[in-house]
Structures are given as C-alpha cells and as structure tokens.
Amino acid sequence: IVHCVGCHEGPYTRQVTRRVGFRRRPPQWGVGGCPPRMPGTTCSASCKLLASNTLCLGQVGCIWVADPVNPSCLSADDAAGVSGGVAAGVILSLLGDIFINIGMNTMKFSHNINEEREKNGLERLNFLLMKYWWIGVILMVVGELGNLAAYGFAPAAIVTPMGAIGVVCNLFITTFGLKEPCRAINVVGVVGVVMGIILIVVFAPRTTIDITSDTVVAQYILTSQMGIYLIIWATLFVMMLPICKKWGQSTVVIYVATGSVVASLTIVSAKVFSSLVTRGFTKGFALDWISPVPYLSLLFLILTCVGSMHFVNTAMMRFGNSQVVPVYYAMFTTASVASVGFVFREFQCVVSTTQAAVFGVGIFLATSGVFLVQLGSSNPPAEREEEDLEG
C-alpha cells in the first residue's frame, strides 16, 4: 500500500508491478509520484480528497462538481444526492425480498397440502407436480432477480440485510391474510427490523466497485482474498454434507447453515454478473460480453442458487417456517455480507470505528427483530420420512 499526499486518495492507492513474460517491470508511476489508479474498489469518502478536476475524473466512481463557489470532487451517489445507485439498489432489494417471502409461503402451502392429504389417508404428491410449489418458485425467482439487479447499484452490505423486510411482510400476510394473532412482541420485532435497516443504509460502507470483464480476474478473482474465501467455502461445504445426513433432522441449523454457505457464493457471483449487466446498459454490452466472464458468473450463480434452494427447501419440509426463516436470514446475512465484503474489499471503506459499530448495531437490530417477528408463529415443525424427501 502506498500512502500518497496531495495526489490520489491516500491508502487506497495500490502500487502495481506489471509482469511481461518472465520479467517483472518496475511500477509505472503517475502524477505527483503516485502509482496510476487501477480499476477496482473506490471508497466514496476518498473522492473528497481529490482536489482537482483531472484527478477526480481519473478515479472510478468520482464526479467533479464544477460549483463556481466551492468546486469539489464527490462520489457518484453523493453528487446525485444519494438518490442514484444506493436508492435504486434499496428499492429493488425491498421489492425482491417481498416477492421471495410470498414465494416461500406459497411453497410452504404446497407442503401443508401434502400434510392434509396424509392426515386424510391419501397418497402424498410429489411437490414438483404441485402448481402452488411452482408458483412459489417463480415468485422466488422474480424476487431473486430483483435482488440480483440491486447488487449492481448498491454495496452488498446494504442489499443483503434488506431481507429482513421479507419477514415483516410475512407477519402482515399471516395477520391480515390468514387472520393469525399478532402479539406485542411481534410489533417490537417490526420496529427493530425497521430501525436496523435504517442504520444499515445510513452507516454501511459506501463503495464504487468497477467490475469489467478485462479487470475482474486480476482485481478480484486471482487474489489472495478470493483464494482464502474459496478454501473456507469448500472446507465448510465438504464438512457440512455428512453432518446433514447424520444430524439434519435434529436441528434446523444444519440444513440452513449449509444453504447459507452455498448462498454466499451465489452473492459473490451475483455481484460480478449484476455489475456487468449494469455496466452493459450504461456503456454497451459489446465491451464486456464477448468475454466468458459474465457467462461463467451466471453459471455459478444458477448452480449455487439451485443448491442453496435445495437445502432451504429440505429445511422447510422438516421444520416450520417460524424456525427456518429467522435462522436462515441470520446465517445468510452474516455469510453473504462477510464474503462479499472480504472478496470485494468493501470493508476497507469504513471510515471510523463509530461507523463500524453503528453498522454492526443495525445488523444486530435487524436480526433480533426477525426472531421477534417470528416468535410465536403457528407454523409447526413438519416430520418427514426420508423417502418422502427423496420424492
């Protein structure tokens, strides 16, 4: 890390050594004795440190505001009055999470139909042949597409915790749609979720991540961060598979934890793919889409999403939504925020310990609120035979 004074953005500037064949060329220095800027993760706060038009426009994610009284360099979101990317990402994520929650309840309804058939002495139906199960899947896919688009506009540290809104939506569905009682503790949970999300949106690290097909491999894939993450991911996944078979029926945590581990790679892939799609709409698809990068990221996204849904669906068949939803939200949020923040270096943009602490409090409030909203839900655990799950 090279600390530069009066030229770039301080500790966020990296010294780059280029490799040509088997020889290593010396770093190519830029203006003011600093290395040239590399595409990658730009902290919004660092834009304010750039004091000239040339330096500002040369930094990804920064915009020069030519005010005659007080000209300054701002991040794209700050220049738009925070009504641009972050707001679009938040809205897409909120709508997506509402669709996902409705879809999960619809899928659960199909399992409840099988429960009633079994009680009446009828044969259980394969859920793949049930229309309500497919309606739930379609709603979840639509919701996930909304979340996918959101990752192209806002940091994952903001988008992922938005899932708490889905749990609040579930409370409204059960209270006003299914006429189930709503207790005071549930209302307290809703307040906790809302307060937590407000803190998350306000205090999450502000970043501009420049992902292109030409730079994503060098900047994010072939890095020590990605290597460490993939080793941890593979180790946890291999460890969890035999644990699922042996103890999966004893506690909801086993299948949900496995699904959360798989889903963290879904979010990493979604960040790459969604950023390339967003870039395609603004700068043209010909720039990046002749490369295999967007297609490979989409392939990993689909495979890991299907794998994650398998484990979550298995958990919903064995346990009630009152157990699955809050546990999955807490584990999925933790795994996804940590994974994307580590791989894409979003956490380097936390400017103070106060910001980090308040952001953590927001995560805690949202997670605690989810548990309180689901407390006392009438969804019972569902006992299943192994052959029924196989079907």
State pLDDT tens for residues 336-359.
888 888 888 877 777 788 888 998
Instruction: Quote the CA–CA distance of 55 and 231 in Å, as a whole number.
Output: 38
The torsion angles phi and psi of 19, rounded to 5 degrees, stand at -110, 125
pTM of the model: 0.67
What pLDDT does 285 receive? 77
Minimal CA–CA distance to 333: which of 87, 98, 164? 164
What pLDDT does 242 receive? 92
Query: Which residues, 6+ apart, have CB-to-CB distance to 259 below 8 Å?
Result: 307, 308, 309, 310, 311, 312, 315, 328, 332
Structure tokens at 116: 């009633």
What pLDDT does 38 receive? 41
The pLDDT tens digits for 82-123 are 445 677 778 888 888 888 878 877 887 787 788 888 888 888
- Decide: 16 and 10 in contact? Cβ < 8 Å: no
Structure tokens at 32: 């003011």
pLDDT tens track, the chain, 391 positions: 333 333 333 333 333 334 434 344 443 333 333 434 444 566 656 666 666 666 766 665 666 666 665 666 666 555 544 445 677 778 888 888 888 878 877 887 787 788 888 888 888 877 777 888 889 888 888 887 887 788 777 777 778 787 777 777 777 776 776 566 778 888 888 888 888 888 887 888 777 666 777 778 888 888 888 999 999 999 999 999 999 988 888 888 889 999 999 999 988 898 888 888 877 877 777 777 888 888 999 999 999 988 998 898 888 888 876 678 778 877 888 888 888 888 888 777 777 888 889 988 988 888 888 888 767 554 444 444 344 444 4
What pLDDT does 66 receive? 63
What pLDDT does 92 receive? 86
What pLDDT does 32 receive? 39
What pLDDT does 93 receive? 84
What pLDDT does 83 receive? 41
- Decide: 75 and 47 in contact? Cβ < 8 Å: yes
What pLDDT does 67 receive? 61
Name the DSSP letter for residue 223: S
- How many helices (H) and strands (E) the chain has is answered by 15, 6
What pLDDT does 261 receive? 92
